[in-house]
Amino acid sequence: MKKQCLSAISLTTLCISAFLFSCNPAAEKNSSDVVKTDSSSYTATIEGKSVLLYTLKNKQGASVSITNYGGRVVSLLVPDKNNKLTDVVLGYDSVGAYRKKGEPFFGALIGRYGNRIAKGKFELEGKEYQLQLNDGVNTLHGGNDGFFSKVWDAKQTDAQHLELMYTSKDGEAGYPGKLDVKVIYTLTDDNALKIDYMATTDKVTVVNLTNHAYFNLNGEGNSTILDHELYIDANAYTPVDSTLIPTGKLQPVAGTAFDFTTAKTIGKNIEDKDQQLTYGKGYDHNFALNEHDDNKVIAKVKSTVTGIIMEIYTSEPGLQFYSGNFLTGKDKDGKGGKSYPHRSAICLETQHFPDAPNHTNFASTVLKPGDVYKTTTTYKFLK
């Protein structure tokens, strides 16, 4: 579409465009004919950088809103069995709420290293590195200075693509090397949210990027996910110690509460007497995915309430299944003043294995200068 002078566009055209791209009255067009949702509650200046909310929308009416603070997915509206748009991710009504202490990484991009590293230590090329400890004696999701707390540079290239970029300095949170990261969110016309991750470094380092969306396919704010049916294409998982660090073993799921190779409700075995479930206070474990490529469904979740089905595709070898065990619901600070109680959401984080730098039998997470870290994960919604 050719660029037009504002004065040459009729009022009728402006109104139609606003309706087609966003139902938010604050939506506005920029000079590249790209619609940017600029809600005042998500507009801020943090560490001298502008924070805005960006909305992608497809031809089916589905939409996803993302803030460049932490690259967080704030809302994800997909049609249910009655074609009613349903928000299936937990979040907050303002960017300030995402900055509060103890916030559980709602919707965030996670890096440099998703999941846990034991005692925040690893060795590369004979040198030991000490990371920030933010999960008891361990490092979780990159430490206190993880990517979830950073303002990313954002560029919405069209109505269905958002590019986010961030440069992590050498030594940030204890990690070696300057890491240049690019993440592209794409909302496809078949109701899939595709996330492409890319990174390069100037020094040998470790990288493990993921997204930490909390899903409830009954609709965010619903009280439970125990009725969701879950399938995971994994014959083994990585058992953990009492601090949720993998022991290094691969444990077969057959005959255990961790067998989701045939779909079952999440609540079916979650209260079984199993030391692993006690350690995680439910499911909070990495599943070793069976051989696959990014065209194969590696996990599927279904709500029998809304009929919404979520399929997951990834090029990653692992999937962290977390059943929302640490949500409390004591504060009504969710979107629209909603409470998010215990086990009212699930996270399905595609990843390399937790603590991989300290386990030679796990797939390597080392990135070297000249190499490109590249991985893709897709969450596709059906009804």
What is the token pair recorded at 127? 């040198």
Neighbours of 247 (CB within 10 A): 12
- Which are the contacts of 292, defined by CB distance < 8 A and separation ≥ 6? 233, 298, 314
DSSP secondary-structure letter at 290?
Answer: P
Cα–Cα distance, 93 to 98 (Å, whole number): 9
| Region at 71 (left for phi over 0; alpha for psi -120 to 50; beta for the rest) | left
With residue 12 as reference, give the H or E element that holds it: helix 11-21
* Backbone phi, psi, residue 19, to 5°: -70, -40
Beta bridge partners of 288: 236, 318
Active site residues: 212, 349
* Backbone phi, psi, residue 137, to 5°: -90, 5
Angle at 160 between CA 156 and CA 161, to 5 degrees: 45
Beta bridge partners of 285: 321
